[in-house]
Amino acid sequence: MSIASTSTRMPLVTQQAMARRIPDRPLPLGAHLRAGGVDVAVLASHATSVELCLLDPHEESPTGFAERRFTLHRARHGVWQGHVPDVGAGQRYGLRVHGRWDPDAGLRHNPAKLLLDPYARGVAGDFRLGPEVYGHEVDASLAPVEGRPRSELDSAGHVRHGVILPDPGPAGPRPHVPLDRTVIYEAHVRGLTAQLPGVPEHLRGTYAGLAHPVTIEHLKSLGVTTLELLPIHAIGDEPFLLERGLRNYWGYSTLGFLAPEPRYATREAQDRGAGAVLDEVRGMVQLLHAAGIEVILDVVYNHTCEGGDDGPTLSWRGLDNPLYYLHDGLQPARLADVTGTGNSLDFRRTRVIQLTLDSLRYWADSIGVDGFRFDLATTLGREASEFNPRHPFFVAVATDPVLSQVKMITEPWDVGPGGWRTGQFPAPFADWNDRFRNAVRSFWLADPAARVAGGVGQDLRDLATRLAGSADLFAHGDPPGGRGPLASINYVTAHDGFTLADLVSYNDKHNEANLEDNRDGTTDNRSWNHGVEGAVHRDGTDDRGGPGDAAAHHVSGPHPKAHEVLRWRRRSARNLLGTLLLSAGVPMVTAGDELGRSQRGNNNAYCQDNDLSWVDWELAPWQEELLATSQYLLRLRDRHPVLRPAVFATGRPAAGDDLPDLSWYQQSAEPMGSAQWHDPHVRVLQMLRSGRPMGDRDFLLVLNGSLLAQEVTLPEGRGGDYTLVWDSGWETPTEATETAAPGSTTTLRPLSLRAYLS
């Protein structure tokens, strides 16, 4: 046993030895407890030597840790492996990789940098920004020194470490909610419960808090079947955020694809270590499953937290930079960026696909999650610059016995060439439908705003296509007839962009809190403030308030028409919500939209881990009414299969029916013609869907996108009366009994919609 130098550049090394050689057979990558010790296998195909470093706290070490280093043996196909005896669960570890330092050739080996195992199933410690975390030398501002010479500063005390954990074993049974009954609720682990009354203080904002009976009761009462969580893979905060005193709240900056993020665990679990954090995550999933609620993870496999060429060296960059990352193919080598984050993983590489599949299987099989939403999924199907819908990754998912049985959802774009691919992913993937979002926002908000200003909006063709399930996007390809309307994940808002309340309260983004001079975030909001930007004070004539009500937000001075502005905003919010929940496809609701949550005009709150992003559960009367409306509409959707078609309509009667499966009418009850479809001045549309093939009543949706009240004649249909079941002009929903005969005329309020059942 030897003691290495204790200079500021060298850690305390208490043991250096060779790991035991394992017979030349493939080992599963990562660290796995076996035979009283640990088997380790790591991919580093360009390295000359790889060391496993076992870390233990040591006050005399410059890094704060003593290391036991074991040199691994070179195996086949770029893998280094070995067995170290007398290692148990909870042991911290990292990797040091020796090899050529030649940034111009893309080679970034630096044994001074302790690297996280990409297959680590637990992480511990904190990331401390400083020159130590960079593989190259940096100046006082952390910018690279000219020529990028290799840094000799040891990073062990400044980075997160892997933790060796036992195999958790298979997860229990899952709910298996059918797609046609699926209602997705996109939420952040911390943001949903950080302020939720009834959840004990020590559980708020945690995995355990997410599975608390109070949280589950809200989800069940709302009608949620599937909880989609923003990323919970281990996170590496970007240096530019840390320098500003901020952090990556959304989590789209992955440090480890198998390890859960500890910051969302209870303090007790964090203190007990990575194993307890993992147990809390698994317990959360089990409790949600027991309540019949699925769990989908938002996952980021398109890039990592190491950023661009000048970013820190934390894992993949130091292990095998040319293999993991997509490069431009030039000399000197530079990372290719199709994700807007400075680096992109190279899905031409077998090992990159393997890491992604291994991670997905682990979370599905061992943690029990029910599906995945893939951030910037176009990158996962790229063969360099080209997207291939038959990419090996998609084929592997479709044929995998585990992954083919869970829900797969894409964010079907990235920022590279030809990056927009909505509708072009293969089965079994479903796609976020941004065309639905844009059409609905335009019809209810952007077009009326343009008309108020003397302009003209769009015609009704795109809106009708979205209401009917977006056949233009999802009716082609294999199998014949395409993936069907349930491949369309419909949404009006998501974590990225305005909340529902802010869509109807702001024309412009207000992202000053992000400290980027309001340059970040999209400008294509298709929102409408209804005449006043942001919050307004009520003048006493309407005690409900509404989106942007200054009872919850800071503004100066009352507005003379506050009650009118707030009334219009409330109705517009209901229009958006109603259109989402009454359209063909799978709806996704953003957490807090059912309560009128505001981010005070911030449409890119990715770094706001505070009450600007957290759901506020103190509800004004109008918020309680919006919640009741959301619950009512989701009950209506659940009870009536006619609202959840699994196949595209043809415009002809189905077998055994005498009514076309889908019909479109003008406000006069005459069929829509070419002239009406192409006329942007036509603002009233009726959609009649036959419910007989689904054993249900017929459904009539009537939309008035005009700024004036409109007289509408109801279509003949089967000749029976229609029952009005919802009107977006209602502040509070009601189990209505009002009926109307076919051919009768009714008056729709300005900017409103009605739902009828035959």
List active site positions: 375, 411
Residue 498 tokens read as: 């305005």
On the CB side of 533, CA atoms within 13 Å amount to: 6
Residue-by-residue DSSP string for 108-147: E--TTS-B--TT-S-EES----SGGG-SB-B-TTSPBPTT
Q: Answer whether 422's CB lies under 8 Å from 435's CB.
A: yes
Percent helix, strand, coil in the chain (nearest 5)? Answer: 25, 20, 50
* Residue tagged 């996109």 (tokens): 186
Encoded amino acid at 409, one letter: I
Q: Which strand (E) or helix (H) includes residue 57?
A: strand 49-57
Whole-number Å distance between alpha carbons of 380 and 374: 9
SS3 of 261-282:
CHHHCCHHHHHHCHHHHHHHHH
Query: Which value, to the nearest 10 degrees, does the dihedral of the CA atoms of residues 565, 567, 569, 574 take?
Result: -170
- Closest listed residue to residue 434, CA positions, set 496, 380, 483, 382: 496
- Closest listed residue to residue 116, CA positions, set 19, 31, 16, 238: 31
| Residue 747, phi-psi category: left (phi > 0), alpha (psi -120 to 50), beta (remainder) | beta
- Closest listed residue to residue 344, CA positions, set 308, 294, 395: 308
Q: Is 605 exposed, middle or buried (0-12, 13-18, 19+ CB in 10 A)?
A: buried
Whole-number Å distance between alpha carbons of 669 and 728: 21
**Across the strands, what pairs with 586?**
489
CB atoms within 10 A of CB 650: 11
- Which three-class secondary structure state does DSSP give residue 339? coil
* Residue tagged 């010479």 (tokens): 149
- List the Cα angle 365/79/156 in 5-degree steps: 85
Q: Is 271 exposed, middle or buried (0-12, 13-18, 19+ CB in 10 A)?
A: exposed
Q: What is the Rg, in whole angstroms, of the alpha carbon atoms belonging to the chain?
A: 28
Q: Answer whether 184's CB lies under 8 Å from 581's CB.
A: no
* Residue tagged 């009128």 (tokens): 596
Chain center to CA of 683? 34
CB atoms within 10 A of CB 176: 10
* Residue tagged 């390809």 (tokens): 477
CB atoms within 10 A of CB 719: 10
Instruction: Name every residue whose Cβ is closer than 8 Å to that of residue 41 and which is 6 or more positions away in sequence.
Output: 26, 27, 28, 29, 30, 75, 79, 80, 81
Measured in Å, how far apart are the chain's first and last C-alpha atoms? 84
Backbone angles phi, psi at 151, to 5 degrees: -80, 140
- Closest listed residue to residue 607, CA positions, set 524, 521, 534: 521
